[in-house]
Amino acid sequence: MKYTFTEEDFNVFTHDSLEKTMEELKQHARKKLEHLGDYFTDYLTEITGDTHYSHVAQHARRKVNPPIDSWVAFGTNKRGYKMLPHFQIGLFKDHAFCQYGIIYEAPQKSDAAELWNQQIEDILNLGDNYFITKNHMKPEKLFIKDLNETDVKKAIDRLSTVKSGELMIGKYYSPEDSALKSDEAFLEDLKETFNTLNQFYIEEEPV
């Protein structure tokens, strides 16, 4: 069973055609996302204390434009994840990521902002490969090493003041990252990353 992303997985997102991208995605990266979902569901349940379920992106609504990324999400609702804070493992054409946060569809954004405003120092103390992003659909990341306290606070406050506000905190993996050299290395690194991100976890009761 394969878990780590390779060149052929990243190359899935280099095609202009929806049909070609989806064909390649189903052959390559999606299988690994499914494996990662199966592997980490119990792990996240254990470290958070809340039952988690995995949801692999299907991109079923796309009719013309191909997806530029794909992911498996982990949340406490069996039916979906977008309405709750959640974890993700995924990849764009030029990097993979492991992240936790809350997107614009979730109603608990003010609660998240209140909690994370108390953890700005913890966010700033994350490693060089860690980032925040204010739009989970775009590949660009704001790396922690380039941010100061004001930058992080503005990003957090945006959650509760902007209707489309969202914030994900995560770790970036370039295709050359040593963590992607083997399945064992990737799984161990992801465990460490999930444990790091768990300090920002917002306890949620399953809906």
CATH assignment of the domain containing 83: 3.30.930.20
Give, as one character, the DSSP assignment of residue 199: G
Q: 61-70, 71-80, 150-159: lowest mean pLDDT where?
A: 61-70
Q: Is the model's pLDDT at 206 over the cut of 50?
A: no
Q: Per the domain annotation, does 66 fall within a domain?
A: yes
Across the strands, what pairs with 53? 75
Q: pLDDT class for 203, splitting at 50, 70, 90?
A: confident
pTM of the model: 0.95
CA 141/CA 191 separation, integer angstroms: 21
Q: Is the model's pLDDT at 21 over the cut of 50?
A: yes
Q: 138 lies in which domain range?
A: 7-200
Across the strands, what pairs with 97? 90, 172
Residue carrying the six token digits 């899935």: 12
Q: Is the model's pLDDT at 62 over the cut of 80?
A: no
pLDDT digits (tens, 9 = 90+) for 94-109: 999 999 999 988 888 9
Q: Per the domain annotation, does 50 fall within a domain?
A: yes
Q: Per the domain annotation, does 67 fall within a domain?
A: yes
Q: Which residues contact 182 (CB under 8 A, 6 or more apart)?
A: 4
Q: Per the domain annotation, does 41 fall within a domain?
A: yes
pLDDT digits (tens, 9 = 90+) for 135-171: 998 999 999 999 999 999 999 999 989 989 999 999 9
Q: Per the domain annotation, does 2 fall within a domain?
A: no
Q: Per the domain annotation, does 206 fall within a domain?
A: no
Nearest partner of 13 among 5, 37, 130, 74, judged by Cα: 5
Q: Per the domain annotation, does 207 fall within a domain?
A: no
CA 39/CA 187 separation, integer angstroms: 9
- Count structural domains, the chain: 1
Q: Per the domain annotation, does 166 fall within a domain?
A: yes
